[in-house]
Structure 1
Amino acid sequence: MNLVTPPSLRAAVRRSRVLLGATALLLALAAAGCTAATGAAQTATTPSVAGTAPSVDVTPSPTPSVDPPASAAATPTAATAAPRTPTRSASARPSVGSRLVFDPDGLGELKLGMTKKQALATGMIKSFQEKPAGSSCPSIAELKGTGGSVWWSTKLGVVVISPASGVETVQGLHVGSSRDDVVRVYPEWAVSGDDNGRLNVAVPGNPDARFRIEMANQKVTSIALQDAKQDCYE
């Protein structure tokens, strides 16, 4: 069964379709305009990342050097301001070129009572001369450096150390000292002969030894260290 649509109804349907199409077009245009406006607004208000991102310099700045004040560099410390002058110890050995010093037992490494072998080992004497003429001691050796002699006894070993010069006692007595110097340094002394002869004085620190001091014209001319019991020297 076929239905026949009246012409008036068809015309109404066409008008409705035209209105719907026009309405849809207007809505589409309106939507497009809003979108464009929104995008423009966002573009205008959003800052460019490339334009606003700051440049960061990560290179560290050098640390400045600090120079000390001129006064600090120029002023010496108390430790270096003035060198100290060393004091001489009473037991210090004399320096090279000064007099050798008798100690209570000998001269340097050479000691009273040594055997020939021990005396030679010090390097301070030359070889011993056996049975020297004019001496009752069996052996005599010459001292190196100072000159003079060393007398050796068969019974007592080295009994006399008699340098020719360049020697002093610990108390400072030496060749050239006056008679008054001798009395001042050794107040207890025994005279053998007169003031122009020789005298023996005790050796401080060694009761078994004596200093044999020869004098002429009130001056000391030689000093020897000898065993108090020497048996061949004179």
Structure 2
Amino acid sequence: MRRAGRGCPAEPVRESGGRRTAVGLRHAVVPAAGLGRHRQGVRFAEVGAEFSFGEGEAVRPTEDRPGDRTANVLGPTGIGKLQIGMTTQEAEATGMVEAGEGDDDCGSWYLKPDVNGDAVVGWSSRGLVSIPAYDRIVTPEGIRIGSSLDQVEAAYDDLTGVAADKDGGSWGDGPALGGQEDEHAGVHYRFLFVNGAVVKLILEHDQPRC
């Protein structure tokens, strides 16, 4: 594992077509061409985090795993054997992550079950702190990339953020958090909405410290 300096979360690096491509947690940029039908990204910043996500992302079906019903469910505290809060050693032992890069305080891996190679899992000194949804992955409440804001609000009555603020002028666009007040302490969902639909969904530690 190559170590990176402190500061922003370290980004795993892959080589594609002779170019080195890094995808990180605080600044994930989807190329305008070369990955399915991705188009120019929509960028936003909140609480020091910056993301860029493509509109109209191509979604490639995942393989069915008959023996593991948890493989396609994100939440309430993880996905399959990978759980928020586990140590980096425990996470690596699941066999679900690869190509890690960072230091003891902050870093990331690629999530191996994502055949597109875009999903990035983050860790900090608190252990595993973030797991993204991808392809057909859904939450236990049935929410996935592409779900409407109305569906998310119905599933998480504690939804807060600019996208959920009907009086703030940005209802339906931007970030929002949900699942902070359920029975599963220490975790929540972070959503990014564009035109009233989920384009990014991440299960996060309440106190990621990264």
**TM-score after normalising by structure 1:** 0.52
CA RMSD in angstroms comes to 2.3
Partner of 1:179: 149
Q: CA deviation at 1:165?
A: 3.0
The one-letter code sitting in structure 2 at the alignment partner of 1:222 is K
Which runs of at least 4 in structure 1 moved beyond 4 Å after TM superposition? none
> 1:122-161 residue pairs with structure 2 within 5 A?
122-130=94-102, 138-146=106-114, 147-154=118-125, 156-161=126-131
Partner of 1:197: 174
Contact 1:149 1:163 survives alignment (8 Å): no
Which has the higher relative contact order, 1 or 2, with Cα contacts under 8 A spaced 6 or more apart? 2
Structure holding more strand per residue:
2
Matches of 1:139 and 1:188 in 2, distance apart?
29
Structure holding more helix per residue:
1
Q: CA deviation at 1:145?
A: 2.3
Partner of 1:54: none
Q: CA deviation at 1:166?
A: 2.6
The one-letter code sitting in structure 2 at the alignment partner of 1:108 is G
The one-letter code sitting in structure 1 at the alignment partner of 2:190 is R
Partner of 1:25: none
Matches of 1:210 and 1:114 in 2, distance apart?
16
Q: CA deviation at 1:192?
A: 4.1
Q: Any stretches of 5+ residues in structure 2 without a counterpart?
A: 1-62, 164-169
1:115 aligns with 2:87: yes
Partner of 1:81: none
Q: Percent identity?
A: 26
Equivalent residue for 1:96, pick from 65, 74, 77? 65
Q: Any stretches of 5+ residues in structure 1 without a counterpart?
A: 1-93, 132-136
Q: CA deviation at 1:208?
A: 1.3
Partner of 2:193: 215
Q: How many residues matched?
A: 133
